[in-house]
Amino acid sequence: MTTIGFDLDMTLIDSRPGIRAAMQHLADETGATIDTELVVSRLGPPLEHELAHWFPEGEVARTADRYREIYAAIAPPLIEVLPGAHAALEAVAKRGRSIVITAKYGPNARLHVDRLGLPADAVFGDVWRDGKATVLREQGALAYVGDHVHDMDAARLADVVGVGVVTGPCSADELHDAEASVVLASLEDFPEWLATQAM
């Protein structure tokens, strides 16, 4: 059975409005200065990596927990699927199964998948780069689709096809440099690409 993994933020969903709102709420609550536009311009790494830019090291873990509570309460209604997301997952369903593999907190990732009706067979949260590669190997995936160079790192480390999409912070050149096997403008191009693959 063909299994293909997908990143979530800026691959399947445009999470920027929700993250921006949650970060602003966190800034208002804590009194911290957070450049929310800068935050949403570089999505990809785990939350704790981002919070380390705005909070002392000893406060990051506690602040991450609070952010996740805020996010779950206010972000979901602000977030929509990216063009082609449903069609891409449906194309995979004709061959096998699709799985979401994301650095986002697992319960919040599942919140989006369920609310937006994304037809994914499983959701794996709280993993990044090497962790994503581990899930890809354990699940027997043949490809991983993502918008970030670290997604392409995960695909390479797992020895699977890396499919880059330029809907996130990384350019086509950056994704190619990260050894993407193919780079697409968006998931709208994914079904046509998949139809050419013997997976």
Q: What local confidence, expressed as pLDDT, does residue 187 receive?
A: 98
Q: Which are the contacts of 135, defined by CB distance < 8 A and separation ≥ 6?
A: 5, 99, 101, 124, 127, 141
Q: What local confidence, expressed as pLDDT, does residue 199 receive?
A: 81
Share of the chain above pLDDT 90, in %: 98
pLDDT band at 116 (very low <50, low <70, confident <90, very high): very high
pLDDT band at 189 (very low <50, low <70, confident <90, very high): very high
Q: What local confidence, expressed as pLDDT, does residue 17 receive?
A: 98
Backbone angles phi, psi at 103, to 5 degrees: -75, -15
Helix or strand (DSSP H, E) at 124: strand 122-124
**Domains in the chain, ordered, with CATH?**
2-14+81-195 (3.40.50.1000), 16-78 (1.10.150)
Degrees to nearest 5, angle at CA 72 with 68 and 74: 115
pLDDT band at 94 (very low <50, low <70, confident <90, very high): very high
Q: Mind listing the pLDDT tens digit for each residue in 118-146?
A: 999 999 999 999 999 999 999 999 999 99
pLDDT band at 8 (very low <50, low <70, confident <90, very high): very high
Average pLDDT estimate for 52-65: 97
Q: Mind listing the pLDDT tens digit for each residue in 142-158?
A: 999 999 999 999 999 99
Whole-structure pTM value: 0.97
Q: What local confidence, expressed as pLDDT, does residue 198 receive?
A: 82
Q: What local confidence, expressed as pLDDT, does residue 130 receive?
A: 96
pLDDT band at 61 (very low <50, low <70, confident <90, very high): very high
The size of the chain, in residues, is 199
